[in-house]
Amino acid sequence: MSESTKTTAGQRANVVSFGKAERDLARMRKQRKDLPPQDARGPNNVMAGHWQPDMYGMPSDPECDCPVTPIGFEGDLFYFIDSRGQFRAVKAEKLNQVGIQDLFSATPNYPKWMCPRWSKPVMSKDGKEVVKASEIVSFEADDIKEILFLACSRKGFFSPNDKMRGRGSWTFRSGNLVYHAGDAMWICEKGKFRELPTGVHEGNLYPHLSALPGPWTEAITAEDNPAKALLLGFRKSKWLRPEVDPVLLLGWIGGGYLGGALDWRPSALLLGDKGTGKSTLQNTLKVLFADALFHSSDSTAAGIYQAMGHDSRAVALDEMEPGMDARKASNIADLMRTSASGAIGRRGSSDGTANAYQMRSAFLFSAINNPLHTAADLSRVAVLRMMPFDKDSERPEPINAETAGPKVLAQMMRAWGDNGAGFKFQYERFAKALGEGGHDKRGQDTYGTLLACAAMMLGDELAAELGVQVGPEEERWWTEHLAAASMPEVEDATPNYRQCLDRILTTPVREWRNSSHNTIGQILQEARTVDPITGMPTEAAVDYGTAKRDINIAGFGLLNVREVVAPAVRSQGITPDQALHKYGLPEGGLVLAVPNKSRKVSALLEGSDWQLGGWKDALQQCPVRGVMIGNSEINRVTIDGVQQRCTLVVLERYHQAPEK
C-alpha cells in the first residue's frame, strides 16, 4: 500500500472518529440542559408545577419533556428509561424520595420543577411583611410517584423478553436493518447511514447501553474492504476443505454482525488439534468484533445469557471439549439451538420461579474433538476442520483493530438492502443450489445463510478478484462442493431414534459382568441364524433360549415374530400368517421388546438424554414404518415375570433403515 493511500485512509479514520466525538458531545450537552427549578421552561415560559399533561399524565409543553420515560408495567415492576438513558425496572416500594432522585440523577432540577415543594415565606416579626419569599427546596415525592405509576399503567403491559432489544442488529417492521450500538442506533437507507436516538421505536425498546463501535460511514472500495485481508489470512491456515471452509468462516463473521436481523443464525465449529491455529483465529475475531463479541474460554450457559442480556452480539467459545462437564456442555448446546431460531428458553431460579430468556446470536466454538453429536446440533453448525501448520507456513497478518470491524459492519448493512431485499436475494439463490445438492431445509438455512453473508461481505468485484464462487450465476458451484452426501457433519448427524437404540445395544449390561458377552447388541449378533449381508443361513453362536433369558435379565424382551402375534392369534381366531400381515410384521426374524417404563432401561441409559423415560418417544420417531411397533394389541410382553407395555423393534428392519 502506498504512503499516499495510507495517509488518505488515516485522514478518513480521523474524520469518522471526530464525527463520533461530536455526536457524543451533543448528547452530553442535551443531558446537561437542566435549568434551575424556578426558571421558566420552553417557549411558553412554563413555570414550576404549571405544565399541561398529555394522555399519559406527563408534561406535554414544548421543550418541557420529562427526562424519565415511563415504559409500562409487568407484575410488581414498573419500567422506565431514566435520565441517563438506561432501562430500569423498579418495584413500587423503591419509587420513594431516593428512588426518584436516582431516576432523575442526570437532571436533578427537573423533579423540583415538575412537582415543586415550596418553603414557607419568612415574615417580619410583626407578621405584616414578607422578608423572604417562598422558594423551591425539593420535590413532592408522592405526587411524582403517582404521575409515574399512572403513566406506566396507561402505557400498558410491557415484557422485556418480548419488547427489549439490546445491542446488535435488528429489523424494523419494514425489514430495514437497524444496528443498536449501545449509545446510538444506525440505519442504512439507499446506501446512506443515519443515526437515531436510543429509546422506543415501533413498540420495541432499544435501551441506552455501553457503546459498541458503529458502522464506517464513509465509502468502502474493494481495496479498503477488510474482507479481503480476513479471507487471505484464513487461507494461510490449513483446512480440510481449503476452498470451502475459509469462505464459510467469513460468512459466519457476517452473520455474527447481523444477529437478531436474521431469521436463522448458523453456528460454526473450528475443529483441530493443537497447533492448527484455532486460538489465533479466535484472537482475530476478538480484535475484529471488539465489544461486539462475547468471548469466553470457560463459561456456562447461564453465564452466557446473563452476560448477553438482550443483546444479539456474536458469541465465541474457546476450548469446548467433550471432556467438560456433560451437563455444562449440554446446556451450552441447548442455548445455541434456541439462539439459532430465536426460541424462548426458560431456566428455574432459586425462588422457584421460571425465568424466560431469548438469545438471537451466532455461536462459534473451537475444540480438539467434536463436542456436538446430536442431529439437532450438527444441523445448525458448519464444522470447519483445521490441519496442523507446516513449519514454513506463513502466519496471517494482523488486521486494523480500529477500522476493520466498523467497515465489515457497514458492508453488511449496505448489502442488506432496503427492506432486506439484498440478503433475501443472496440467500434464496444459495438455498436453491444447496437443495439441489441434497440439503434439507435446515441445511439450506445454515449453509445458505453463511454463503449469503460471505457474498454480502465480499461484493461481486472482490469475490471475483479472490476467486470465490459467490458471484452472479456461480451458486451452482456449491451444489457440488457442499453436497450433503460429502459432508462429515451431515454424515455424523445420526437421528435421535437411532442414537437412542444404538446406546441401548452398545452399553455394557451390569447384570452380565461374568458373562461371555456384555452388550445386548453382541448377544443379538451371536443369536443370528441368518447372515444379514448374504441372507444365507448361519450357525448361531448363542442358542435362542440363552439369548432370550439373558436379555430378560437385562430388563428387555426377545421374541421371534410368531411369538409377538401369538396373543392375537389366540384372541382373534386368525392364523399366524394373517396376524403377521395384519400387524405389518415380516415372516421371520427377531424382535427386541423395549419396556416403555423400566428402572433397568433407565439404568442402562444413565447419563443420556433418554435416561428419565424419553426412550419411548425417541424410538417412535423412526420415520420408516414397520421398524418400531407399538400396537396395543400385541405389545404386552412378559419381562422379569411381569407383563409390560413395550416398543417392539423389528431388528432386521432396523439394521436396514436409513442412518440419516
Residue range 593-626, pLDDT digits in tens: 999 999 999 999 998 889 989 999 999 999 888 9
Average pLDDT in the 565-580 region? Answer: 95
Q: Reply yes or no on whether the pLDDT at 129 is more than 50.
A: yes
CA distances from 18 to 12, 15, 197, 461 (A): 10, 5, 19, 31
| 248 and 372 both lie in a single domain | yes
Q: How many domains does the chain have?
A: 3
What average pLDDT is seen over the chain?
A: 87
Range of the domain at 347: 226-413+486-491
| 250 and 385 both lie in a single domain | yes
Average pLDDT in the 406-424 region? Answer: 96
CA distance 72 to 151: 8
Structural domain ending residue among the three candidates 444, 468, 491: 491
With beta carbons less than 8 A apart as the criterion, state whether 382 and 252 touch.
Answer: yes
Please, what is the Cα angle at 334 between 332 and 336, to 5 degrees?
70
| 377 and 524 both lie in a single domain | no
Percent of the chain residues topping a pLDDT of 90? 63
Confidence tier at 355 by pLDDT (50, 70, 90): low
| 361 and 246 both lie in a single domain | yes
- The pLDDT of residue 345 is 63
- The pLDDT of residue 148 is 97
| 389 and 508 both lie in a single domain | no
Q: Helix or strand or coil: residue 243?
A: coil
| 239 and 355 both lie in a single domain | yes
Q: Reply yes or no on whether the pLDDT at 324 is more than 80.
A: no
- Angle formed by the axes of helices 404-416 and 441-466, nearest 10°: 120
CA distance 454 to 333: 25
Q: Helix or strand or coil: residue 323?
A: coil
Total length of the chain: 660
With beta carbons less than 8 A apart as the criterion, state whether 180 and 166 touch.
Answer: yes
Confidence tier at 275 by pLDDT (50, 70, 90): confident
- The pLDDT of residue 3 is 41
Structural domain ending residue among the three candidates 491, 514, 543: 491
Of the listed ranges 103-107, 354-358, 576-580, the least confidently predicted one is: 354-358
CA proximity to 120, closest of 104, 136, 107? 136
Average pLDDT in the 476-496 region? Answer: 79
Q: Reply yes or no on whether the pLDDT at 232 is more than 90.
A: yes
Decide if 559 is inside a domain: yes
Indicate the Cα dihedral angle 242, 243, 244, 250, nearest 10°.
90
Per the structure block, which three cell numbers stand in for 5?
A: 493511500
Q: Reply yes or no on whether the pLDDT at 133 is more than 80.
A: no
Per-residue model confidence as pLDDT tens digits over 377-395: 777 889 999 988 776 667 7
Decide if 79 is inside a domain: yes
Query: What's the predicted TM-score (pTM) here?
Result: 0.74
Confidence tier at 370 by pLDDT (50, 70, 90): confident
Average pLDDT in the 149-168 region? Answer: 91
- The pLDDT of residue 385 is 92
Decide if 62 is inside a domain: no
Decide if 449 is inside a domain: no
| 93 and 230 both lie in a single domain | no
Q: Reply yes or no on whether the pLDDT at 493 is more than 70.
A: no
With beta carbons less than 8 A apart as the criterion, state whether 116 and 139 touch.
Answer: yes
Per-residue model confidence as pLDDT tens digits over 38-90: 999 999 999 999 999 999 999 999 999 999 999 999 999 999 999 988 889 99
| 409 and 540 both lie in a single domain | no
| 394 and 509 both lie in a single domain | no
Structural domain ending residue among the three candidates 466, 491, 516: 491
Where does 199-307 show beta strands of DSSP type E?
Answer: 199-201, 204-206, 238-239, 267-271, 293-296
| 142 and 231 both lie in a single domain | no
CA distances from 387 to 290, 373, 477, 485 (A): 27, 21, 24, 22
Confidence tier at 124 by pLDDT (50, 70, 90): confident
| 544 and 650 both lie in a single domain | yes
